Amino acid sequence: MRLTPRLLAIILHDFLAAAFAWLAGYWLRFNLSVPPEFQTAAFSTLLWVVPLYAVVFWRFGLYRGIWRFASLPDLKRIVLAIGVAALLIPMVLTLFRVNAVVPRSVLILSPLLLIVIMGGSRLAYRAWKEHRLTSVLRPSSKPVLVAGAGSAADFLLRELARNPAGFHAVGLLDDSHEKLGRLVQGIRVLGRLDEVAHWASKMGVEDVVLALPSAAHAVRKRIAQVCADAGLNVLTIPALEDLVAGHVSVSNLRRIELNDLLGRDPVQLDDSGLHRLLTGQAVMVTGAGGSIGSELCRQIARFAPAKLVLFEQSELALYAMEQELPQQFPSLAIEPVIGDVKDAARISDVMSRYRPAVVFHAAAYKHVPLMESGNAREAMRNNVWGTHVVAMAAQTCGVEK
């Protein structure tokens, strides 16, 4: 660990805090009027106490953390380090025969004061930084209501405080009577989910974020319909486990899609059959960056194919998958390919080069009302002609499945 000016300032802060807490223990013990003989003892023992605290703090790794992200684990580490040092102080003073009188109450008061000073300063610094960041970014970010006041909402609000991603929450909505009027990360639970139109109008909000990952699909459909009737944009957060694992962030807030509301029961995959079909094989997925194609890629990657060819028209969607898959499957060989399924020459060239044994064709326009409204010709070209091109190329190149 390199000693930087910032780190030296933190170490100096803790040294001064240890010294102050030790002297303050004497002041409190004698009601702020320390007798001369005890003043001498207090200052002479500082030469032993402060270095001992310094060694213990360093051994417990208190300087590996970042004050900006100080949290409960940091506080636990501080309490443990101070507790160990507090036990060692009388042992060291006795072992080295330090000729000074240390009242027992000082040995108790001093570490308690030090915990308050060190823990409080770190948490106060974090609160100041987050308030400063929020005050700077909030004017340019959009206000949103959050539907839900559970663990997902709590995590979302903490992430928005650190990384606003263009949004800041102004209120929460939840159907639990016990939560009404309560605060989550300083944001009030304003009312019930059915009152979203009222509160959106009152708070000047155009966007609502669904933070209800464990709610029944009927509830999600109901709130989405209420928002749609009120002309509000409905956003949804990524899966909570993906947020916690760091695979995605709150910047991945997206508009809710039909897939989020279908409420289908999970399909149980035939793992043994899929192993025979996919493991060790070259596999190609068209539309690999879409909502269906990307999930296909994640599921296929679990079966360790020899190579996974990602065929996608959108550069951004392909780039996202190229970045995501190696993080979750480091040993997977992927081949990102830009192309259009309607381009017969491109499809044939890709299949001839990579020789996939299995092709999953997921390149399709799937938003039916949108495609029916003035875009039917493009839907026919992409979904019908594109499928014909992929099928013919697969037949020509000897694709097995």
Three-state DSSP class for 290? coil
The answer to whether residue 394 scores a pLDDT higher than 60 is: yes
Cα separation, 389 vs 383, in Å, equals 10
The answer to whether residue 259 scores a pLDDT higher than 60 is: no
Each residue's pLDDT tens digit, 177-209: 888 888 888 888 999 888 988 998 898 888 888
Cα separation, 187 vs 170, in Å, equals 7
Each residue's pLDDT tens digit, 124-155: 877 776 655 555 444 556 888 988 888 878 87
Among 110, 133, 156, residue at a domain's last position: 133
- Are the C-beta atoms of 11 and 64 separated by less than 8 Å? no
Q: CA geometry: angle at 240 spanning 65 and 62, to 5°?
A: 10
106 in the same domain as 39: yes
Query: What would the mean pLDDT of 326-352 be, rounded to a whole number?
Result: 93
End-to-end CA distance of the chain: 55
The answer to whether residue 297 scores a pLDDT higher than 90 is: yes
- What domain range includes position 52? 5-133
124 in the same domain as 14: yes
Tokens of 109: 């008061």
Could you tell me the CATH number of the domain that includes residue 167? 3.40.50.720
**pTM of this prediction exceeds 0.75:** no
100 in the same domain as 37: yes
For residue 145, list its beta bridge partners. 171, 208
213 in the same domain as 294: no
Task: Give all strands (DSSP E) within 269-346, no chain letters.
Answer: 282-286, 307-312, 334-338
104 in the same domain as 153: no
The answer to whether residue 123 scores a pLDDT higher than 70 is: yes
The answer to whether residue 265 scores a pLDDT higher than 60 is: no
Number of alpha helices (DSSP H) and beta strands (DSSP E) in the chain: 15, 11
Three-state DSSP class for 309? strand
- In which band, very low, low, confident or very high, does the pLDDT at 338 lie, cut at 50, 70 and 90? very high
Query: What would the mean pLDDT of 105-123 be, rounded to a whole number?
Result: 90
Query: Is 229 domain-assigned?
Result: yes
Residues 6 or more apart whose Cβ sits within 8 Å of residue 18: 49, 50, 53, 54, 114
Name the strands in the sheet holding 358-361, side by side, starting at the edge strand that comes first in the sequence: 334-338, 307-312, 282-286, 358-361
Query: Is 401 domain-assigned?
Result: no
Each residue's pLDDT tens digit, 243-252: 444 444 444 5
- Are the C-beta atoms of 27 and 34 separated by less than 8 Å? yes
390 in the same domain as 285: yes
276 in the same domain as 212: no
Each residue's pLDDT tens digit, 203-238: 888 888 888 766 666 777 788 888 888 888 888 765
Q: CA nearest 176: which of 187, 190, 192, 196?
A: 192
Among 133, 152, 185, residue at a domain's last position: 133
Three-state DSSP class for 374? coil
Q: For the chain, what percent of residues have pLDDT higher than 90?
A: 38
DSSP annotation of 330: T
Please give the pLDDT value at position 70: 64
Each residue's pLDDT tens digit, 48-103: 999 999 999 988 888 776 665 566 778 888 999 999 999 999 998 888 888 787 88
Task: Give all strands (DSSP E) within 134-279, no chain letters.
Answer: 142-147, 167-173, 183-184, 187-191, 207-210, 233-236, 254-255
Number of domains making up the chain = 3
The answer to whether residue 397 scores a pLDDT higher than 90 is: yes
The answer to whether residue 36 scores a pLDDT higher than 60 is: yes
201 in the same domain as 93: no
Please give the pLDDT value at position 72: 75
Cα separation, 299 vs 173, in Å, equals 35
For residue 335, list its beta bridge partners. 309
The answer to whether residue 256 scores a pLDDT higher than 60 is: no
Cα separation, 349 vs 371, in Å, equals 29
